[in-house]
Amino acid sequence: MFQTPLSAESESEAKVDGETASDSESRAESAPLPVSADDTPEVLNRALSNLSSRWKNWWVRGILTLAMIAFFFIIIYLGPMVLMIIVMCVQIKCFHEIITIGYNVYHSYDLPWFRTLSWYFLLCVNYFFYGETVTDYFFTLVQREEPLRILSKYHRFISFTLYLIGFCMFVLSLVKKHYRLQFYMFGWTHVTLLIVVTQSHLVIHNLFEGMIWFIVPISCVICNDIMAYMFGFFFGRTPLIKLSPKKTWEGFIGGFFATVVFGLLLSYVMSGYRCFVCPVEYNNDTNSFTVDCEPSDLFRLQEYNIPGVIQSVIGWKTVRMYPFQIHSIALSTFASLIGPFGGFFASGFKRAFKIKDFANTIPGHGGIMDRFDCQYLMATFVNVYIASFIRGPNPSKLIQQFLTLRPDQQLHIFNTLRSHLIDKGMLTSATEDE
């Protein structure tokens, strides 16, 4: 093929000013990353020394899975505020694991300000998202405190200004011999922010809708992960996907049915408790979170007719269940059929950079991101599901916003609402009363 002088000049400039794409990719492919050492606790190593590596791994994963489940119960008991702090900590650790991989793969040791800017952008994005959450859910408190009210009013402008500072710092940090690599890492940081921070923010939003919308989806993902592993370990014969050679169709299908049943049972138990089904709200009088309300119809037992085909099998004509249990089928189905693709995505990512795990934080399980690769995808689905099929207008938030308007605006809305109710026949006009 012929090459124009302009294209030849551009190519030579790219080679002089920075690395070519092939240079960076070849470095990434040939870069030997640190090999994960055996991080199994010494106590377990001694106790399981007589077992084969297959069964030893099974016991290590099982024991530490039970430990993580116990920790999950503890933080649920400690309440919404602790859960939010844990979500924030998990988000930071996941971000650290992914950024560290990029740092090691592309040998970014000589890039000026790379790590500083990565963490600065994390701070900016968290300030934006959590500032929006505070304004939305702590509206009365924000309006009561003058500094918070000012920060809330100009929140988006402040957030954008903070981001612009980071953007300008990145441009000023560009070094001639590292142009292409620096832009690689700039994109790496922003994609990581999109995957980790945005979706962890959705987890917080799900939590505010009620603890049940936080606990059931996460538990379904955990159940599917455990049951798919169990079915695959004992019955697995047919490989499922090349990205994860140990995944089998037997584990995938067994995990699906087990997760649906688990979701129905867990939803039935939790739907009977107000502390799980009520939205998490901030009480201005006590300056604390409250989860007390009159449960909606979604969490009231109702009687459903069973289809005739099923009646002939089980002998029941009707069944009493919570409407939320029907929604739990959708949640558990997504957790078991689509959720694993978050894990497959993570497996492909790790294979691309020739690493076994994101980190070695949890023995037998890898890093924190290895445990939350499916959870983030699930959080996004739950948030979209709530917005599409569950959430309606919130009267308390409308009243809060109404009270912050000017008196003339409040009077205009009052007269408009009054006229609307009179037209609907729900109120009588003053002339009719006379």
For 108-137, what is each residue's pLDDT tens digit?
666 778 888 999 999 999 999 998 888 888
Give the 3-state secondary structure of residue 4: coil
Residue 382: per-residue pLDDT: 96
For residues 370 and 346, the answer to whether their CB atoms sit within 8 Å is: yes
Listed in sequence order, the residues at least 6 apart from 162 whose beta carbon sits closer than 8 Å to its beta carbon are 123, 124, 127
Indicate left, alpha or beta for 399 from its phi (over 0: left) and psi (-120 to 50: alpha).
alpha
Tens digit of pLDDT for each residue in 181-222? 889 999 999 999 998 998 899 999 999 999 999 999 999 999
Give the 3-state secondary structure of residue 42: helix
Residue 44: per-residue pLDDT: 65
Q: Residue 31 corresponds to which amino acid?
A: A
The per-residue DSSP string of 126-162 comes to: HHHHHHHHHHHHSHHHHHHSHHHHHHHHTHHHHHHHH
Tens digit of pLDDT for each residue in 316-349? 888 899 999 999 999 999 999 999 999 899 988 9
Range with lowest mean pLDDT among 5-9, 102-106, 241-245: 5-9
Beta strands 302-305; 281-283: pairing state: unpaired
Tens digit of pLDDT for each residue in 133-173? 888 887 777 877 888 888 888 999 999 999 999 999 999 99
Range with lowest mean pLDDT among 31-35, 84-88, 235-239, 355-359: 31-35
d(CA 319, CA 142): 47
Tens digit of pLDDT for each residue in 43-86? 666 767 777 777 777 787 778 788 888 888 898 888 888 888 99
d(CA 377, CA 195): 9
Residue 12: per-residue pLDDT: 43
For residues 349 and 173, the answer to whether their CB atoms sit within 8 Å is: no
- CA triplet 28, 31, 35: central angle to 5 degrees? 125
pLDDT exceeds 60 at position 258: yes
What stretches of 207-301 adopt beta strand conformation (E)? 239-241, 244-248, 281-283, 288-290
Residue 38: per-residue pLDDT: 52
From the list 133, 256, 272, the residue with the least C-alpha distance to 206 is 133
Residue 1: per-residue pLDDT: 42
Residue 141: per-residue pLDDT: 76
What percent of the chain is modeled with pLDDT above 90?
Answer: 39
d(CA 187, CA 181): 10
d(CA 208, CA 83): 11
What mean pLDDT, rounded, does the chain reach? 83
d(CA 355, CA 347): 9
Band of residue 429 on the pLDDT scale cut at 50, 70, 90: confident
First to last CA, the chain: 93
Residue 21: per-residue pLDDT: 44
Q: Encoding tokens for residue 37?
A: 């050492």
Residue 145: per-residue pLDDT: 80
Handedness of CA 75, 79, 83, 86 (dihedral sign): negative
pTM for the complete prediction?
0.81
- As beta bridge partners, residue 319 has 304
